[in-house]
Chain A
Amino acid sequence: MSSRTNVSCLHEARRVAIFGGTHGNEMSGITLVNMWKQNSAEIERNGLLIKPFISNPKAVEKCIRYIDTDLNRAFTPENLSAPDVEGRLYEVQRAKEINRMFGPKGSSDAYDVIFDLHNTTSNMGSTLILESSTDLFNLQMVHYIKKAMAPHTCLVLLNEHPQLKYSTTRSVAKHPIGLEVGPQPQGVLRSNVFESMRTILKHALDFIEFFNSGVEFPPCTIDVFRVQERMDYPRDTNGNITAMVHPHLQDCDWEPLNRGDPMFLTFDGRTILYEGANTVYPTFINEAAYYEKQQAFTTTCREILAANAIRKAFK
């Protein structure tokens, strides 16, 4: 028996952006966006305005993560409301421009959906990143993508942590989605990673087109990994790391880490064990860009989110 009373009616999603190069050395998104800027046939959908966009062109040109500061941490309320001043950090200026073009963040004029394309050196496979456990549109979209990608696995990371959540480039939109595919070294384009990301986006755009055409998506549940804690490397008094991710943990993103499991291996061969009370599911294990952010890996816990049925609201 379908519960007709429990269908959430949501606004049409008309304006969609695909961001590549938020980090200038994460090559899948940069390559896809440049390809689609030249020829957009593959991403065109009925009734949708889809804008492929290079978020950090200066960093892309130099094939580095950022010029002055990480763009994907720059969309704070302070930065977005700061006055235009000479000598401002490049990425802060860029964040304001992006907010003007695709926002303003939090307003009804903002783009409906932004997909932000990322790569990681971690063995995370294809990961969809959500910032809210209550955004029904996003929950239904990731459910659709996971089903469509099967048997290829697509996992969902939820970062709703009050302190660890950060102000992402995509947060300008009403429905932000991060696509994180790895492992891939910075500055490298791997064919399998590229094609996975391309296929995820194809399914995502299909979902939006179906939704806009009036298709109702039934209630569903989604397995997610919820961000808990950042774990840093052991360091000396000068701040240099004194150990590496242990070989038993390396590449084991999403697998359970229990108390007593090896976690780090010091340079002189000593094993450091995980001593947390509960089983956690680590991710972003040994991401190159996170050494400077004091993050060897992030712990998560597993959760099942439920989403109402959704359909487009009639005008």
Chain B
Amino acid sequence: MKAVAMPTVSRVAVCGGTHGNELAGIYLVREMLKKRADGTEPVSVVTVMSNPRAAQLCVRYVETDLNRCFTRAALSAPVSETSPYEMVRSQELNALLGPKASMQAVDLLCDLHNTTANTGLCLITYSDRDWICLHICKHLQAQMASTPVRYVHFDIPLNEAYSLDSVGKHGFAMEIGPQPHGVVRSVIFSAMQEGVQLMMDWICQFNSGTLFEGGWVDVYTMVKNIDYPRDSETHVITAAVHPDLQDRDFCLLHPGDPMFLCFSGETLRYRGKEALYPFFINEGAYYEKGVALSLARKRRVQIPSVL
């Protein structure tokens, strides 16, 4: 593949507290905000507490999930005093860091998240050919010795992309688990701090003209979600994620493998025809969204050298 020349990544946003109970990002943003910029930084970084009200209350959201409020429709909807807090806030963030899909948007938006699932560190994005994001992933994979780093891709067009990271010209959610909501685990905080630092290091080197060699990155593309089995009348869940699947994010799930253990004792198995990679297994915030786990296809993507 030919080397690709790309514009400098001169404006970066690091956002935490998009969900107010995902504490590693909240504490990291607080620490970053304490350090005053002295104008000598090679890259301009804006650090944002995305949902301060939710962070203050230590809840995921106050009225509606902020990280679903960044579709084109949501960003252009008229807002008033009676609009949900997060709908107003998403438009504020879009004005500050975007506007989405415009030339004024920040070059890179890194949105910090935690999950109760055993995902390790994931960069979650809407593109499987964003060379900046893929190179950052490759860099983190090479440098982070004790944390698995993976690239997760949601194949959704920009207009319908609903999360904060879609506001930047390049963007990803940096998702790290497992961590319970409302808890900060030092190992998780340190991994997030290291991930953000390595991202900034890469950007600085890239901006100063370093050529980054191309290569291959495994990309996990989301295929479908699977809900819990539920009682047909009450809609209450009737099983838990099977112990053989619990905590086994990114371990290949084959047709016939156990998926759920019903309260009645029955095992429910994966009935798909294709072996897929499960992730976000048993994320606490997804019960209300009807998601027990997500399934992805993995493929190797070739990335060019960039400079």
Asked if A288 meets B181 with Cβ closer than 8 Å, knowing A187-B287, A240-B30, the reply is yes
Contact of B284 among A183, A186, A241, A287 (CB under 8 A): A186
Asked if B103 CB lies within 8 Å of chain A CBs, one says no
Asked if A140 CB lies within 8 Å of chain B CBs, one says no
Alpha-carbon gap, A98 to B2, bound state (A): 72
> In B276-303, which residues have CB < 8 Å from any A CB?
282-285, 287-288
Asked if B184 CB lies within 8 Å of chain A CBs, one says yes
Does B181 lie within 8 Å of A265, measured CB to CB? no
Q: Interface range on chain A: under 10, 10 to 19, 20 to 34, or 35 or more?
A: 20 to 34
Does B261 lie within 8 Å of A191, measured CB to CB? yes
Asked if A244 CB lies within 8 Å of chain B CBs, one says yes
Alpha-carbon gap, A265 to B31, bound state (A): 14
Asked if A31 meets B263 with Cβ closer than 8 Å, knowing A187-B285, A250-B186, the reply is yes
Asked if A189 CB lies within 8 Å of chain B CBs, one says yes
Bits for B37-81, please: 1 = Cβ < 8 Å to A, else 0.
Answer: 000000000000000000000110000000000000000000000
Smallest Cβ distance from A14 to chain B, in angstroms?
Answer: 28
Alpha-carbon gap, A267 to B34, bound state (A): 12
Alpha-carbon gap, A192 to B189, bound state (A): 27
Contact of A190 among B31, B263, B282, B283 (CB under 8 A): B282
What's the tally of chain B residues with a CB closer than 8 Å to chain A? 32
Does B186 lie within 8 Å of A288, measured CB to CB? no
Does B186 lie within 8 Å of A185, measured CB to CB? no
Smallest Cβ distance from A244 to chain B, in angstroms?
Answer: 4
Alpha-carbon gap, A268 to B59, bound state (A): 25
Asked if B246 CB lies within 8 Å of chain A CBs, one says yes
Asked if A246 CB lies within 8 Å of chain B CBs, one says yes
- Note all chain B residues with C-beta closer than 8 A to A183: 180
Alpha-carbon gap, A247 to B184, bound state (A): 11
Smallest Cβ distance from A131 to chain B, in angstroms?
Answer: 26
Smallest Cβ distance from A235 to chain B, in angstroms?
Answer: 13
Asked if A286 CB lies within 8 Å of chain B CBs, one says yes
Asked if A286 meets B183 with Cβ closer than 8 Å, knowing A31-B263, A267-B31, the reply is yes
Asked if B182 CB lies within 8 Å of chain A CBs, one says yes
Does A191 lie within 8 Å of B186, measured CB to CB? no
Contact of B282 among A35, A188, A247, A291 (CB under 8 A): A188
CB closest chain-B residue, reference A65: B182
Asked if A308 CB lies within 8 Å of chain B CBs, one says no
Smallest Cβ distance from B56 to chain A, in angstroms?
Answer: 11
- Note all chain B residues with C-beta closer than 8 A to A35: 263
Contact of A288 among B27, B178, B182 (CB under 8 A): B182
Smallest Cβ distance from B224 to chain A, in angstroms?
Answer: 21
Contact of A188 among B59, B183, B242, B284 (CB under 8 A): B284
Asked if A192 meets B246 with Cβ closer than 8 Å, knowing A185-B284, A187-B285, A267-B27, the reply is yes
- Note all chain B residues with C-beta closer than 8 A to A250: 185-187
Alpha-carbon gap, A192 to B240, bound state (A): 9
Alpha-carbon gap, A186 to B183, bound state (A): 10
Alpha-carbon gap, A31 to B263, bound state (A): 9
Smallest Cβ distance from B186 to chain A, in angstroms?
Answer: 4
> In A278-294, which residues have CB < 8 Å from any B CB?
286-289, 291-292
Alpha-carbon gap, A190 to B182, bound state (A): 17
- Note all chain B residues with C-beta closer than 8 A to A289: 182
Smallest Cβ distance from B59 to chain A, in angstroms?
Answer: 8
Contact of B186 among A34, A194, A244 (CB under 8 A): A244
Asked if B215 CB lies within 8 Å of chain A CBs, one says no
Asked if A228 CB lies within 8 Å of chain B CBs, one says no
- Note all chain A residues with C-beta closer than 8 A to B285: 187
- Note all chain A residues with C-beta closer than 8 A to B243: 191-192
Does A121 lie within 8 Å of B246, measured CB to CB? no
Bits for A112-155, please: 1 = Cβ < 8 Å to B, else 0.
Answer: 00000000010000000000000000000000000000000000
- Note all chain A residues with C-beta closer than 8 A to B185: 244-245, 250, 286
Smallest Cβ distance from B146 to chain A, in angstroms?
Answer: 11
Smallest Cβ distance from A6 to chain B, in angstroms?
Answer: 43
> In A224-264, which residues have CB < 8 Å from any B CB?
240-241, 244-247, 250
Smallest Cβ distance from B234 to chain A, in angstroms?
Answer: 9
Does A189 lie within 8 Å of B180, measured CB to CB? no
Does A194 lie within 8 Å of B181, measured CB to CB? no
Does B236 lie within 8 Å of A34, measured CB to CB? yes
Asked if B237 CB lies within 8 Å of chain A CBs, one says yes
- Which of A64, A240, A244 neighbours the largest number of chain B CB atoms within 10 Å of its CB? A244
- Note all chain B residues with C-beta closer than 8 A to A246: 186
CB closest chain-B residue, reference A64: B59
Alpha-carbon gap, A34 to B238, bound state (A): 11
Asked if B241 CB lies within 8 Å of chain A CBs, one says yes
Asked if B116 CB lies within 8 Å of chain A CBs, one says yes
- Note all chain B residues with C-beta closer than 8 A to A286: 183, 185
Smallest Cβ distance from B67 to chain A, in angstroms?
Answer: 17
- Which of B30, B186, B189 neighbours the largest number of chain A CB atoms within 10 Å of its CB? B186
Q: Can you list 23 A-B contacts with CB-CB less than 8 angstroms, sorted by A residue number? A: A63-B287, A63-B288, A64-B59, A121-B182, A185-B179, A186-B181, A186-B182, A186-B284, A187-B116, A188-B116, A188-B284, A190-B240, A191-B246, A191-B261, A192-B246, A244-B27, A244-B189, A247-B187, A265-B186, A267-B31, A286-B185, A288-B181, A291-B182
Which 4 pairs between the two chains have the least Cβ-Cβ distance? A185-B180, A288-B182, A187-B284, A191-B240
Contacts A188-B116, A189-B282, A245-B186 aside, 19 further interface pairs with beta carbons under 8 A come to A31-B263, A35-B263, A63-B288, A121-B182, A185-B116, A185-B178, A185-B180, A187-B285, A188-B284, A188-B287, A190-B240, A190-B246, A190-B282, A191-B240, A191-B241, A192-B243, A192-B246, A241-B184, A250-B186
